[in-house]
Homo-oligomer: A and B are copies of this chain.
Amino acid sequence: MTTPPSAAAGDGTNDHLVQSTDPDHPANLIPSLCAKFWTLGWVTGTGGGASIRNDDLVYIAPSGVQKELMKPSDIYVLSLAAQQSQSLHPRQRVYLRRPPTLKPSQCTPLFLAAFTKRGAGCCIHTHSHWAVLVTLLLEAHGSAEFRINNLEQIKGFGRGPGKAGNLGYHDTLVIPVIENTAHEEDLTEFLEEAMDRYPDAYAVLVRRHGVYVWGETVHKAKTQCESLDYLFQLAVEMKQLGLAWITDIAPTVPTRSAA
């Protein structure tokens, strides 16, 4: 990870950027995470993806690859700083390293938004059917916001960038929903807009599509994504059982001074 890229070219050079014996190197971690996500039903049929940022280097899973079969050599690498100084048009995007036969992910500008606007270290995109069902249930009520409270798993989310600690049990987790667009890259402006309106959110749902989840580290992005999927599943099952997502519950106060 200490070797700087020798040239800003997309000509198959810089393969060393995806070669490492460290299982935690982004080029190894993205495939192992994607294989895990495949077993969870998050990246079925090549849907979904993941990206890791390491300082200025951004590693991205390619488009159209069976996620449980991905290899380190399939990974794209680009410079975050270079993206910001260039036109954002995806056709002109410059990669430090690109696999010879694959196509870049349409999620690329959305992952970059999490890195530039939030300083995230990792961003995960799933097509989890629990996420999709939640957006459909909200659509039926004309809502563009998922809200749920009084569940322990809510503690799995940070309070927001720059804020200390995590949400509490009684807090309301709020995830904005944006409408899906015909082309995935066109989601970018709406995702960025939602990030502006919900400065503390670590995720954005995409109607009839899935969810984008990020975090300061791979650990945080992955565990927040798991916690969110757990809550989406619970929310769908609660709806089937006629149970409300938002409740008013008085705190239970301990009587001991030091418990």
Contacts and interface: CB of A to CB of B under 8 A. Distances in A.
Interface in A219-237: 219, 222-224, 226-227, 229-230, 233-234, 236-237
Nearest to A152: B209
A252 interface: yes
Interface string A135-157: 01100100000000011110010
Given A208-B150, A234-B129, A186 B223 contact: no
**Stoichiometry, copies per complex:** 4
Contacts of A259: 88, 109, 185-186, 188-189
Interface in A30-84: 41, 44-47, 66
Contacts of A129: 230, 233-234, 237
B189 A169 contact: no
A45 B151 CA distance: 14
28 contacts: A41-B230, A45-B153, A45-B226, A46-B223, A47-B153, A47-B156, A47-B230, A127-B230, A129-B233, A132-B151, A133-B238, A133-B241, A136-B238, A136-B241, A137-B241, A140-B243, A152-B210, A169-B181, A179-B252, A181-B253, A181-B254, A185-B259, A186-B252, A188-B256, A189-B255, A189-B256, A236-B237, A239-B241
